[in-house]
Amino acid sequence: MENDPDAGVPMGAPHRPGDDWRCKDDAEEWPCQVFRRRMWSLYQGNRPRLAEVMGGFRDKATATLPDLTPKQAEARFVGWVHDPPVRRRLRAI
């Protein structure tokens, strides 16, 4: 199976990375929390496939971010996959 990090993620979707690997919408380091939640939902908890996809993004980022160590890249792009994003609960007013 080809490791295509953009598979299933529309390029025009919000919370995409900019050239500096910061989120275009909230300026957080990418992948931002919104994107992580979106990907978790999209892959419905399929951690191996999600890790594979995010590994593709990791590889693209390390090619353009020379100061990012392999350990930092792994933690930032793939490490969160095994610890699902926390969903906030809305409280009634």
Q: What value does the mean pLDDT take over residues 27-54?
A: 91
Judge whether residue 87 has pLDDT over 90. no
The answer to whether 61 touches 73, Cβ cutoff 8 Å, is yes
Where residue 52 falls among pLDDT bands split at 50, 70, 90? very high
pTM here is: 0.75
User: Taking each helix axis from N to C terminus, what angle separates 47-64 and 33-42, rounded to the nearest 10 degrees?
Assistant: 140
**Cα torsion 54, 58, 59, 61: sign:** positive
Q: What value does the mean pLDDT take over residues 16-33?
A: 93
Two structure tokens written together for 68: 């990012």
Nearest CA-CA partner of 42 in 84, 76, 90:
84
Judge whether residue 17 has pLDDT over 60. yes
- The average confidence (pLDDT) of the chain is 83
CA 71, CA 1: separation in Å to the nearest integer?
25
Judge whether residue 61 has pLDDT over 90. yes
